[in-house]
Chain A
Amino acid sequence: MLPLIAQPAGLLPAREQMAVSLGWHIVLAAFGAAFPAMIFVMHLRGLRGNETCLRLAQRWSKVAAVLFAIGAVSGTVLSFEMGLLWPGLMGRFGDVLGLPFAFEGLSFFTEAIFLGIYLYGWDRLPRWLHLWALVPMMAAGVFGTYCVVSANAWMNMPSGFTLTASGEVVDVHPWRAMFNGRAFLQFAHMWLAAYMLVGFVVAAVYATGMLRGRLDEHHRQGLTVPLVFASVAAILQPVVGHVLGMALGDIQPTKLAAFELATTTEQPAPLRIGGLLIDGQARGYLEIPRWGSFIARGSFNKPVQGLDAFPAQDLPPVNVTHIAFQSMVGIGTLLALAVTVYWVLRWRGHDLIRRRWALRCLVVAGPLAVLALESGWVATEVGRQPWTVFGVLRTVQAAGDNPGLWWMFSGVLVVYLGMTVGALVVLRSMARRWRAGEEELPSPYGPAPEKAATR
């Protein structure tokens, strides 16, 4: 892809590793950002007298304990990787983009402290105080997501510093970097995505149970609360996404060209659905005239710049970017339509949850939301290539020169595979024991230590 610049040994494995570890972390990070609010609603309804909801809140908090633990360690991996994989980025720009990370640390502290208090507080804290321990967690989730997405938005639209002719970074304004013009929108999009992911995934779990014949109040509540969250997010998401995309023509025209599979500049530009770039030609797509201009630029007449308007060494890998982008938009549109249909019908008195095919659709919606989120990130990150900091620092310059990286990458693959399997096994066994009527899930080392001691 980049024949002109020598590739350091650390480049390829670093990219692969970054993709795997971020793609993995982001799913758990979404739980950290969105799950506390859902637990809060459940817990609140429980305190108002609904025993089923209280039990669900209690169970969810145990699930959260497992998910947040592996979320925290996978996030730590990322912090190390920023330095281990991208010394060229951190050495030169650490003081420009570091501040949001510092504030992110603050919100992790808050989240971890109140998670400890909440988990430990069942039956130990006064009931309402216990519920309120979730609020700082929710706030920290929002703030932390803003901070880390702001760092990413800065890489897409760098600001808050000046480069001298010799390439030195001077005149640094870290606050301007942290509150860069792109950050808020990108955060809003990510935040909604988190609610979609968690909402649809949790709803899918209970939909599976209902398909297996467990049609009780427990499953109904467990499905409905997350579905409400997911539905609101799913309906807002295309709007936010569209606004986010509209500025792309000015900020990152190469990314936009790849998103739209635009080989040459056209005015007005059509919308191309599907298709691949083969030997420099776009093939196999479905064309809708003028809509490309509307979606990308907000008007049916504005031009969309094509790939041929840029030097070859400044272009991202087109096919990956295009497919990822369209998967996200396609899934997003589909989910938004589906939840609209569901709620309209429900409002008119038809509850689709009683139908098996609707439950099946819900089961599929969970993985689809995950796929949309992953695709969105792949589109954003791969579409930014060959730049790490757009227009300023190429990825080859950000990478280190470490030939041992393949070893680390292999290790990461093994460990993450193990963690995935471990998490699935443990979570499923928890569900199985709950179904069997065990509520407390005592430690496998027998009775609780206090009891052992007092007897």
Chain B
Amino acid sequence: MTLEIAVAAALFVGVLAYALFAGADFGSGFFDLTAGGPSRGAEMRSLVDHSIGPVWEANHVWLIFCLVTWWTGFPRSFAAMTTTLFIPLALALAGIVLRGAAFAFRKYAPSLGQARLYGAVFAGSSLVTPFFLGTVAGAIASGRVPAEGYGDRWSSWLNPVSLFGGVIAVGTCAFLAGTFLCADAERTGHGGLIDTLRRRTLGVGVITGLVVFAALIPIRQDAPTLARGLERQAAPLIVISAIAGVTTLGLLWRRRFSPARITAVAAVATVISGWGVGQYPWLLVDQVRINDAGGARSTLIGLIIAVGCATVVVLPPLAGLYWFTQSEHLDEADAH
């Protein structure tokens, strides 16, 4: 394995973690948005608040990790990406800012009116962000980011593969969030929410699954390199993803929410890994190979060291945070 591949692998782990953890946070915006009027939706919104409140900032840092690793490890391709995909990146960024700020404001909003305003901004921007990040992924995967940058500002992300990418991103986020919220609702005793959550999650899951398979058609026409990868080295992942997805639906149907979380994560993780493995060895598909994109060797080594430090310093407390917030029981939650 070359240094470049090692750094790219670390980068991809960041993408995966962001998609799974921050994805679930984003997806809860969908349930927030569709929770109904202020009194009917109050319980759902409180649940969303409670579930993502302590963790969303930590989950968000994965994105920073990805950006920084990319520009440090593969600087030229980073500039190529930003100059080409300026518009979707700027829109995703707007979503990130609005979501984070509005979420924090809503928690301490003095009146219902203000809370509704912030809540609408939070929920809406939670859907905007994954959509545009999905189009970015689609643009890279379909070979629309030229090595020298400054690709077409519009068609690079307004094309079938990118748009499917955006929709899939939103769908997978909502699916993940729904599964987690079902489990949270069960654990914290919100029996009343479970029916709605379960129904919507099943709906979103079925639709997203269909969209993923429908996307294979434009991918074959429009992104032949990725399509070849998906049919060859990434095929097992796609199959596993399909199985895990269907299993999740089954578990949700039978109200086995706790194990459904695991299979849902597996389904999404394998879809995303399928994309990564499918486009290997390209960093920017058809344009730049990972092995040709690396920056200075000494910097790549430095990055590996940084990633090593992060594994030791960050992962244990991160695991602790999840354990701490997930292991809380009813009586303790009542204490505040």
Chain A residues packing against B (C-beta within 8 Å): 62, 65-66, 68-70, 72-77, 79-80, 82-84, 87-88, 90-96, 98-99, 101-106, 108-110, 112-117, 119-124, 136, 169, 172-175, 400-402, 404, 408, 411, 415, 419, 422-423, 425-426, 429-430, 432-433, 440-441, 443-446, 448-454
Q: Which residues of A contact B86 (CB under 8 A)?
A: 84, 402, 404
Give the residue name and chain of the B residue nearest to A440 (CB): B336
Q: List 26 A-B contacts (CB under 8 A).
A: A69-B100, A73-B96, A73-B100, A80-B89, A88-B79, A91-B79, A91-B149, A92-B75, A94-B78, A95-B73, A101-B68, A101-B71, A102-B69, A106-B314, A109-B310, A109-B314, A112-B57, A112-B58, A174-B298, A415-B97, A444-B109, A445-B42, A448-B46, A450-B334, A453-B188, A453-B190
User: CB distance A172 to B57 under 8 Å?
Assistant: no
- Bound-complex Cα distance A64 to B53 (A): 14
- Residues B313 and A110 in contact, CB atoms below 8 Å apart: yes
Contact of B107 among A74, A433, A443 (CB under 8 A): A443
Determine if B54 is an interface residue (Cβ-Cβ < 8 Å): yes
Known contacts A109-B318, A175-B302, A423-B101; 12 additional CB pairs below 8 A are A69-B104, A76-B64, A83-B81, A95-B75, A98-B72, A102-B69, A110-B317, A112-B60, A124-B336, A422-B118, A444-B109, A449-B188
Known contacts A62-B108, A122-B336; is A444 also within 8 Å of B82 by CB? no
B232 is an interface residue with CB less than 8 A from chain A: no
Do A79 and B46 have beta carbons less than 8 Å apart? no
Structural contact, A172 and B188, CB atoms closer than 8 A: no
A316 to B153, CA, bound (A): 33
Contact indicator A74/B328 (Cβ below 8 Å): no
Contact of A99 among B60, B302, B332, B334 (CB under 8 A): B302
**Does A415 lie within 8 Å of B103, measured CB to CB?**
no
Query: A84-B86, A175-B302, A450-B333 known; A433 and B75 CB under 8 Å?
Result: no
Is there contact, CB below 8 Å, between A426 and B108? Answer: yes
Q: Confirm or deny: B296 has a beta carbon within 8 angstroms of a beta carbon on chain A.
A: yes
Closest Cβ–Cβ distance, residue B229 to chain A (whole Å): 26
Q: Which of B30-83 contact A (CB under 8 A)?
A: 38, 41-43, 45-47, 49-50, 53-55, 57-58, 60-61, 63-65, 67-69, 71-76, 78-83
Tell me, yes or no, whether B309 is within 8 Å of chain A by CB: yes
Q: Would you give the shortest CB distance from A395 to chain B, in whole angstroms?
A: 16
Q: Does A66 lie within 8 Å of B188, measured CB to CB?
A: no
Asked if residues B42 and A99 are in contact (CB atoms below 8 Å), the reply is: no
Q: Report if B321 contacts A (CB, 8 A).
A: yes
**B189 contacts A454, CB within 8 Å?**
yes
Are A93 and B114 CB-contacts (below 8 A) given A73-B100, A102-B68? no
Q: Nearest chain-B residue to A432 (Cβ)?
A: B110
Q: How many residues does chain B have at the interface if contact means C-beta atoms less than 8 Å apart?
A: 93
Given the interface pairs A79-B67, A401-B150, the reply to whether A454 lies near B78 with Cβ below 8 Å is no
Q: Is B335 an interface residue (CB 8 A)?
A: yes
Do the beta carbons of A72 and B60 come within 8 Å of each other? yes
Q: CB within 8 Å of A: which residues of B?
A: 38, 41-43, 45-47, 49-50, 53-55, 57-58, 60-61, 63-65, 67-69, 71-76, 78-83, 86-87, 89-90, 93-94, 96-112, 114-115, 118, 149-150, 153, 188-192, 295-296, 298-300, 302-303, 306, 309-310, 313-314, 317-318, 320-321, 324-325, 328, 330, 332-336
Contact B112 A80 (CB under 8 A): no
B57 near A69: Cβ-Cβ < 8 Å? yes
The residue in chain A whose Cβ has the minimal distance to the Cβ of B87 is: A404
In the complex, chain A residues whose CB is within 8 Å of the CB of B43: 445, 449, 452-453
The 8 Å CB contact of A90, one of B78, B102, B320, B330, is B78
Q: A72 touching B57 by the CB < 8 A rule? A: yes
In the complex, which residue of chain B has the Cβ closest to the Cβ of A83? B82
Partner of B299, one of A62, A98, A419, A443: A98
Query: In the docked arrangement, what's the CA distance between A224 and B200, Å?
Result: 53
Select from chain B the residue with minimum beta-carbon distance to A102.
Answer: B306
Residues of B within 8 A of A69 (CB): 57, 100-101, 103-104
Residues in B with CB closer than 8 Å to A430 are: 108, 110
Identify the interface centre among B71, B98, B314: most chain A CB within 10 Å of its CB.
B71
A114 contact set on B, CB distance < 8 A? 317
What 3 A-B pairs have minimum CB-CB distances, sorted nearest first? Answer: A98-B72, A94-B75, A95-B295
